[in-house]
């Protein structure tokens, strides 16, 4: 049993079908640079898109493709993942393929801390997994689970795990976050920049909450290319004209 972490650029949406296991030594260990995962913050969102296929056909390409369901979850301010609903639910879903909103089990939605791995490939008898979501009650426990994931992945992500979700190879998962732009709530890709939400602006104001009670407001010159390329954070308020 080996586990390898497939790394690359921090892509916001990873297609599970494109992942390939990497070779490793006979010792079941792997190296996980920080760029391969993200600790989720309050008001960050998981967008899960799962494809469904006719059970009588191979699950590849468009052969037997029935449709796609999209489920969204938002990280709560204190604990837990809050379901935001399902888009384009299938009227008739194959019995052997769970709905998108069932991929993260209820027991996994109650933790205080979450860590999302873009692509973890498990290799055992030729089978492979996809993206992984770990949940824990504290950062210390999350770090311990992450370390164990690299050396004993199936002990962390077994079928009855309370702390791990392995997304199937029929899905893609992307990270988004909720911000406010000119008074309107918006879900945008994680690591979106000021420039991406305020194009052609003549003036930008960024309002950011730091801690429970501290709010800062900053006036930004749109001509400052370095500043407008800075990444936004969940909960940011952007006013521009």
* Region 82-87 average pLDDT: 90
Q: What is the Cα–Cα distance from 214 to 54, expressed in whole angstroms?
A: 53
| Residues 20-56: tens digit of each pLDDT | 333 333 333 333 444 689 999 999 999 999 999 998 8
Q: What is the Cα–Cα distance from 81 to 110, expressed in whole angstroms?
A: 7
- pLDDT band of 141, cuts 50, 70, 90: very high
Q: What is the Cα–Cα distance from 224 to 194, expressed in whole angstroms?
A: 11
Q: What is the Cα–Cα distance from 188 to 205, expressed in whole angstroms?
A: 18
Of residues 96 and 45, more confidence is placed in: 45
Query: For residue 96, what is the enclosing H or E element?
Result: none
- pLDDT band of 146, cuts 50, 70, 90: very high
Looking at the DSSP bridge assignments, the partners of residue 189 are 176
SS3 166: strand
SS3 38: strand
Kindly report the average pLDDT of the chain as a whole number. 81
Instruction: Identify the weakest region by mean pLDDT among 119-133, 135-149, 178-192, 226-240.
Output: 119-133
Q: What is the Cα–Cα distance from 240 to 206, expressed in whole angstroms?
A: 9
Query: Exposed, middle or buried: residue 141 (CB in 10 Å: 0-12, 13-18, 19+)?
Result: middle
| Residues 189-239: tens digit of each pLDDT | 999 999 999 998 999 999 998 766 788 899 999 999 888 998 999 999 999
């Amino acid at each position: 049993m080996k586990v390898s972490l497939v790394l690359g650029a921090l892509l916001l949406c990873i297609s599970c079908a494109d992942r390939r296991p990497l070779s490793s030594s006979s010792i079941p260990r792997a190296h996980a640079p920080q760029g391969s995962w993200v600790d989720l913050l309050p008001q960050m969102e998981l967008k899960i898109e799962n494809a469904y296929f006719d059970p009588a056909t191979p699950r590849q390409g468009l052969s037997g493709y029935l449709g796609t369901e999209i489920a969204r979850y938002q990280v709560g301010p204190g604990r837990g993942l809050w379901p935001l609903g399902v888009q384009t639910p299938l009227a008739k879903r194959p019995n052997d393929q769970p709905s998108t909103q069932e991929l993260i089990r209820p027991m996994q939605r109650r933790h205080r801390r979450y860590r999302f791995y873009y692509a973890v490939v498990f290799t055992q008898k030729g089978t492979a997994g996809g993206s992984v979501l770990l949940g824990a009650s504290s950062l210390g426990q999350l770090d311990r689970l992450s370390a164990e994931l690299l050396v004993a992945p199936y002990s962390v992500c077994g079928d009855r795990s309370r702390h791990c979700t392995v997304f199937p190879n029929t899905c893609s998962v992307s990270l988004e976050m909720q911000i406010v732009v000119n008074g309107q709530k918006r879900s945008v890709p994680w690591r979106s920049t000021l420039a991406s939400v305020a194009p052609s602006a003549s003036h930008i104001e960024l309002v950011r909450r730091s801690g429970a009670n501290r709010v800062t407001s900053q006036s930004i010159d749109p001509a400052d290319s370095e500043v407008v390329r800075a990444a936004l954070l969940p909960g940011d308020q952007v006013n521009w004209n």
